Amino acid sequence: MDWQISEDTVPSAPITEADARLLRARPPVTGAWRDGDPVGDRRFAAFGAFRTESGQELPGIRLAYETWGELSPRRDNAVLVLHALTGDSHVRGSAGPGHPTDGWWGDVVGPDAAIDTDRWFVVAPNMLGGCQGSTGPASIAPDGREWGSRFPYLTVRDQVAAQVRLADALGIDRWAAVVGGSMGGMHALEWAVGHPDRVARLAVLSAPPTTTADQIALNSVQLEAVQIDPRFAGGEYYDAADGDGPHRGLALARRMALLNYRSPTELNQRFQRTWQSGKNPLGHGGRFAVESYLDFHGNKFTRRFDANSYLTLVEAMNSHDIGRGRGGVDDALARVSATTLVVGIDTDRLFPVEGQERIARGIRSTLDDTATLVPSDFGHDGFLIETHLVGRHLRRLLKT
């Protein structure tokens, strides 16, 4: 596969300048942010020893985070925004030094936006185990080497426990709202169940109460795609002599994931049976445009993510079960006291709306009687794309 920008790997729609910069060079061994890289808009909070649910210990952890707006004197206007599996702390702002891509929710968070930073103090951390400034497998261990395969197994509850430390360090006893989509929605739900007295409002977008067997199965083939890449080397690829990492495996995992994130309607309408670059598909080298689209996004992903972090975070997503050790899902949801908005995307095939409906039924203080459905052709990614519709519902929540 040609890892440079070419007609064969770029979809027909124009790419952004940020994408062009990202794709111009050969992929690095890891797309992780590393100490010594430009900091950008990140801030950092460092903490002492951290013990995971499984009993493993990190001697110290760090969370990267970004903020917008001003914390009120009473510290009662803080909103926690939690990113999805492959997101990071860069919710809004342009790509540039330290930030490989534009902010992922810039239409939702900002002045006069749904989460209005003229009113709210917004905090967005990069989750523990991630690769954009928080402690993860690409971070340097006490012995001077990357953690790599030695990095502990993490659960969603571990990641929320790290976020609790960040809230304590910022002096925020109670969030005015906790908002999260997809894996971030798992974190948001865990906050409201595990720390109900610290969450006044809750927004769970496109997330389930538990990760189902079907979803774990979909994740398992992505994990295998990364691990069977010979350059993965059991997770010890950072010092590869030729400077080449497990790009193909990671790109393939991303291509698989995109098939879950988008809907058949969108792919069929957008690409139909068109061919890339006008080539004859029945001859040698023929290529469908949708194949090129998947290649482009897989290629792009390797420039900003770390293969070991991908494994760590997918496995953490698999751990999600809000009812584990709490008497089951219904008993766990009954603990939530926050005024709650639950949003599902009607075409979501990764986390179908049945999961959001179960969450809404189980929480006594929901804004609506059931889950709020957002119509979209974009599938699971609709919560990131349908910003006008999603933002309208978030405004309703924040007015309560």
Backbone φ, ψ for residue 291 (5° rounding): -65, -40
The active-site residue out of 19, 380, 381, 393 is 380
Spatial neighbors of 135 by CB under 8 A, at least 6 apart, are: 58, 60, 61, 62, 63, 128, 129
Spatial neighbors of 242 by CB under 8 A, at least 6 apart, are: none
Phi-psi region for residue 96, left (φ > 0), alpha (ψ -120 to 50) or beta?
left
The active-site residue out of 134, 182, 206, 263 is 182
The active-site residue out of 19, 88, 321, 348 is 348
Distance of CA 162 to the CA centre of its chain: 16
Enumerate long-range contacts of 225-233, CB under 8 Å, 24 or more apart: 225/249, 225/250, 225/252, 225/253, 225/256, 226/250, 226/252, 226/253, 226/307, 226/310, 226/311, 227/311, 229/307, 232/307
In the annotation, is 182 catalytic? yes
Q: How many residues does the chain have?
A: 400
In the annotation, is 83 catalytic? no
In the annotation, is 247 catalytic? no
Residue 44: C-alpha distances to residues 39, 71, 385 (Å)? 10, 17, 29
Enumerate the β-bridge partners of residue 380: none
Compute the CA torsion angle 202, 355, 362, 386 (nearest 10 deg): 30
CA angle 392, 381, 67 (to 5 degrees): 65
Measured CA to CA, the distance from residue 63 to residue 130 in angstroms comes to 9
List the one residue out of 235, 233, 257, 218 whose CA is nearest residue 86. Answer: 257
Residue 11: C-alpha distances to residues 104, 152, 253, 292 (Å)? 20, 38, 19, 6
Active site residues: 182, 348, 380
